[in-house]
Amino acid sequence: MKESLPIILDIEASGFGSGSYPIEVGLALADGSCESVLIHPEPEWIHWSEEAASIHKIKREMLLREGLPARVVAQHLNALLAGQTVYSDAWGFDSTWLSLLFYHAGVNQHFKLDSLRRLLTEKQATYWGAIKDQVVRTFKLTRHRAGDDARLLQLALRQVSQL
């Protein structure tokens, strides 16, 4: 029987703070598979931080060309995650951006987002940063893209759970 892993969600955004909005959602699912989707900006989503773009390497033009509408993304997330608890390492940011996505989509969210920290013991939390760094080196994941970041967190959780 295959191991069931906690579902991890990660969001990349147009910037930080007021006016920022989600631009990419990534998931690492319970079976270890991953996916990510770019989000087409809503008309009122105009804030763009070049500093954030230099980190995630996503251009606004790419979102306009390849991004899916907020409604499609929200419906897809609900279809995959309905009734489940999903975890984020940046709950404060990700819950805000997720709420913004669902609000603009006109769709109710049918899953719960919780802090990944709830899954860690105090001992595990002590080693969390070092284990994440080790996973990045071992698996050569692209940092600051939502799918790879979600996978990184899931792989690190698997390793830290062995402590």
Structure confidence by residue, pLDDT tens digits, 87-96? 999 999 999 9
pLDDT band per the 50, 70, 90 thresholds, residue 151: very high
Write out pLDDT tens, residues 10-21: 999 999 889 999
* CA angle at 142 for the pair 15 and 73, rounded to the nearest 5°: 55
Domains delineated in the chain: 7-155 (3.30.420.10)
- Mean pLDDT, range 37-64, rounded to an integer: 96
Q: What is the CA radius of gyration of the chain?
A: 16
Q: Say how far apart CA 65 and CA 28 lie, in whole Å.
A: 25
Residue 65: exposure state from Cβ atoms within 10 A (0-12, 13-18, ≥19):
exposed
How many Å apart are CA 11 and CA 134, to the nearest integer? Answer: 22
How would residue 1 be classed by pLDDT, with cut points 50, 70 and 90? very low
The per-residue pLDDT for 2 is 59
* Percent of the chain whose pLDDT exceeds 90: 89
Q: What confidence tens digit (pLDDT) does each residue in 81-124 have?
A: 999 999 999 999 999 999 999 999 999 999 999 999 999 999 99
> What is the average pLDDT score of the chain?
94
Q: Are 145 and 36 in contact (CB under 8 A)?
A: yes
Tokens representing 13 are 């955004």
Element containing residue 36 per DSSP (H, E): strand 34-38
For residues 124-153, give the mean pLDDT.
Answer: 91
